[in-house]
A and B are shown apart, each in its own frame.
Chain A
């Protein structure tokens, strides 16, 4: 499957753009979406999920216009929004049956599929309890299960690892990697390491625009040779930050170890291997974009 986004803009008012002339082509695999708050990630995902319409531009899935015919993608869509909720009076089983009805799936195997998904998200024991009694992590797992109910071909995960502990995050990444063999997966996260470990391609957004898109090595290349480490006195940090883009700082007694990006490193700085996080911060925080 190929999802083509062509010159899509979302205008909220005369001056405010959620997205501006955004173009992207996504095929099977994992696209990691990175960007600060307000970059337009959720807007883009809502448009792909057909719950928001672009002000201009086109979106096609395998050549079918999904703005004009949203049901084409809805049949194969799995969507895990950032701040979704649940019906508190339903139990997990009833809730998943309800979501299955929404997605237009059923048949003799539905019960078995729900059972297996509940087992997979480890909610079998809690399946008969009202979801209103669940913890945040349990609700997040129900969210993951619902996204997989309909054998999705396009999966949109908006901040999916919120509420999951470190071990669950690893399992979630494994799950997404397995799904990516036959699916388009768009994964948005503030946590660069979530994207770093699994994304085939990365798209970095800022102020509604696509700054860059490419494989991880291609994106990291934008800061190659510009990342350094140095140790300075604690009282010099503020002044240092005005001259360089500091991406990390570690306090060590009266000294501070800084990792920074610069074209003009200070004397005594040590060059470092650039990471995706360096590239992300460089592209979104500096004027490089």
Chain B
């Protein structure tokens, strides 16, 4: 039991005491702020037909709770999905493997630690919700019960489920990062597809792990009874259209069906059950795989001749070398590492994606195939500027000749070559059709996403923030929301290109400035 608690505590502290987590909290705070649009904002988050609630404690509590359920489920999964991998990387897992703790208790402790991390972020959003109430409620009474209830019934079981699903998918798919990510991508799509259409049934309400459907049904029912019989919840998220036409109503809460409350408890129990099932397949910190890898390594080096020792090196006999301050050798090696990263069969998916870029309609290729294909490179891009520290090469790179002028640009250029190369079939199609500007947009997109990866890697020292953001951006793009379109599928104006150039400049300045400081302050 002591070990069980220690793992939860240690894991939680290890993850929350990082600079990356602070950045995540800051972003969460900002997102929470945007959950409740100001009166003059040009977007809405939750609306029923053309109606939104007035800013009382109930509306703010319900809106921030369901927005948290959805967005924290989406982002939170990517935030907590590597807790077992961390133990393997740091070799703490090997120590834990020798203790008496059972697989189930270990995975359960990891799941609870995941839950605590997500709970911390929920706490931040909750606090922001209270601040927003006092800022935007125009003196309404603070109804604490109505404010807290949606968090308790909707958000907490939702993040509990996510905490468990992250563990389960890590056990089964942890070794294949992109598959691991894609599995949740599809699950999230299925769940939100169940939530979003208006109307609903008891079955839909129960089958929603995020617990949002019951709230949208309740809100719909209220508006339909009092204002508009045909109104349905048409959007949960950031809707930038037709904000000015919205009408307001006073929302004082809804009855919570007993069946719903029971279903939430069942989701919690199911989450634990899923972890238990995963524990039956969890081979103790991937011990078998580790052994296999070690055996493979041993076999490779075992065949070497005997006397495998340091020899006498005659320095005077070494040939003289000349100076070469070019960056081509860097770019070549960085590209080599990008290509070799991940399993080889993954390139089958990449090639499949490139073929799809050639043979689907231009619109589909640009709007859907390309972002998916680029997202498949998330593992390659996310460690573009973090791999030096991860592999402890930074002692060499930081002490190298002009690293800011030579190495960092090479890493970025290699990333851009990879991304532009993957988009090449699409570019060729545009050029063949005499369209030049879409090619510029595509190049700007490739440069932007690579620089985002580089800058966030340097800023946070880790891969997570970029991975989460890249996923969120891709998800938004696949849902045809122009807001996050960074490769010109939906936007094609000079203003858009100027904005892209501005952001690219900002990322360059951020990345280079911080790295310049880092290399002299190890």
Residues of A within 8 A of B (CB): 46, 49-53, 70-71, 74-75, 77, 79, 81, 83-90, 94, 97-110, 112-113, 116-117, 119-122, 125-126, 129, 132-135, 138, 141, 144, 146, 148-151, 164-165, 167-168, 171-172, 174-175, 178-179
Contacts and interface: CB of A to CB of B under 8 A. Distances in A.
B348 interface: no
Interface in B391-407: 391-403, 406-407
Contact of A171 (B308, B312, B320, B329): B312
B175 interface: no
A86 B391 contact: yes
Contacts of B341: 89
A95 B316 CA distance: 23
Contact of A101 (B316, B329, B336): B329
A103 B301 contact: no
A134 B315 CA distance: 25
- Residue picked from A101, A135, A171, most chain B C-beta under 10 Å: A101
Contacts of B397: 102
A79 B396 CA distance: 7
A242 to B, nearest CB: 36
Contact of B300 (A99, A133, A151): A133
B361 interface: no
Interface in B297-311: 297, 300-301, 304-305, 307-311
A85 B62 CA distance: 50
B230 interface: no
B396 A99 contact: yes
B395 A51 contact: yes
Given A100-B329, A125-B304, A168-B310, A178 B520 contact: no
Contacts of B309: 122, 165, 167-168, 171
A102 B321 contact: no
A71 B401 CA distance: 6
Interface in B209-228: none
A116 B304 contact: no
Contacts of A134: 301
Contacts of B308: 122, 125, 138
Contacts of A132: 297
B339 to A, nearest CB: 9
21 contacts: A49-B399, A51-B395, A51-B519, A52-B521, A74-B402, A97-B329, A98-B333, A101-B329, A105-B321, A106-B329, A107-B321, A109-B321, A120-B311, A120-B314, A122-B311, A133-B296, A144-B310, A150-B321, A151-B320, A172-B310, A174-B312
A113 B318 contact: yes
A92 to B, nearest CB: 12
Contact of A106 (B323, B391, B519): B323
B312 A102 contact: no
A109 B394 CA distance: 26
A104 B324 contact: yes
Contacts of A86: 391, 393
B322 interface: yes
Contact of B392 (A84, A89, A172): A84
B307 A122 contact: yes
Interface in B403-420: 403, 406-407
Nearest to B312: A171
A117 to B, nearest CB: 7
Nearest to A102: B400
Contacts of A77: 399
B317 interface: yes
Given A100-B329, A141-B310, 8 more contacts: A51-B520, A52-B521, A74-B400, A104-B400, A121-B313, A133-B296, A150-B321, A151-B321
Nearest to B410: A101
Contact of B393 (A87, A149, A175): A87
Contacts of B296: 133
A157 to B, nearest CB: 12
A10 to B, nearest CB: 11
Contacts of A107: 321-324
Interface string B312-355: 11111111111111110110010011001100000000000000
A109 B320 contact: yes
A109 B312 contact: no
- Residue picked from B300, B398, B403, B407, most chain A C-beta under 10 Å: B398
Contacts of A144: 310
B187 interface: no
Contacts of A126: 301, 304
- Residue picked from B310, B317, B321, B399, most chain A C-beta under 10 Å: B310
A149 to B, nearest CB: 8
Interface string B147-169: 00000000000000000000000
A39 to B, nearest CB: 18
B15 interface: no
Interface string B269-310: 000000000000000000000000000110011001101111
Contacts of A87: 337, 387, 391, 393
A177 B221 CA distance: 87
Given A75-B401, A81-B395, A102 B310 contact: no
Interface in B362-398: 387, 391-398
Interface string B487-522: 000000000000000000000000000000001111
B333 A101 contact: yes
B85 to A, nearest CB: 16
Nearest to B328: A101
Pick the 7 closest A-B CB pairs, nearest first. A106-B324, A85-B392, A102-B400, A120-B313, A107-B322, A101-B329, A109-B319
A98 to B, nearest CB: 4
Contacts of A129: 300-301
Contacts of A108: 322
A70 B404 CA distance: 12
